[in-house]
Amino acid sequence: MPTQIWVDADACPVVIKEILFKAGHRAKVMVTFVANHSIRVPPSPWLKRLQVEKGFDIADNEIVRRVNKGDLVITSDIPLADEVITKGAGVLTSRGEQLTKENIRSRLNIRDFMDTMRASGVQTSGPPPLSPKEKQSFANALDRFLAHRD
């Protein structure tokens, strides 16, 4: 049901971008890659890039401003996901997890807890690299979204 796909492209893994390039062209759905730096997007009437100024949350704020109900946002940024879910958009992480109004609050709580831990000096590690299973999970979840957009 998404009418457009918005990608938080600053932190989106290359392999996920490649899946999105193919899916946008195949499904004939506009995919917009929003980033604060120049990114390469293959030539296609279904793919575009939107470069915004550098700065904290500038790309996120632009996605929130432009997203519409029924669109799909690709991001692992939990506060961004919360904002676009509130606007009626769907959210899919690069690991293939669908974020919804039912699960976003618990994800926000975990994120806030981890921020508090880091602020108090606890060393935390970033997410592990995407596994082949997670790449497949993303592709499958994206296909489900695209199949239900009509």
DSSP notation for 81-101: HHHHHHTT-EEE-TTSPEE-T
For the chain, the domain total comes to: 1
Q: Is the pLDDT of residue 47 over 90?
A: yes
User: Torsion angle, CA of 95/105/62/2, rounded to 10 degrees?
Assistant: 60
Q: Which domain holds residue 109?
A: 4-147
pLDDT tens, residue by residue, 51-108:
999 988 899 999 999 999 999 999 988 899 999 999 999 999 999 999 988 877 767 6
The β-bridge relationship of strands 30-35 and 98-99 is unpaired
Tell me: pLDDT of 150 over 90.
Answer: no
Q: What was the pLDDT predicted at 121?
A: 76
Return the CA Rg of the chain: 15
pTM of the model: 0.85
Give 98: exposed, middle or buried? Use CB within 10 Å, 0-12, 13-18, 19+: middle
Which pLDDT does position 56 carry in this prediction?
84
The CATH number of residue 24's host domain is: 3.40.50
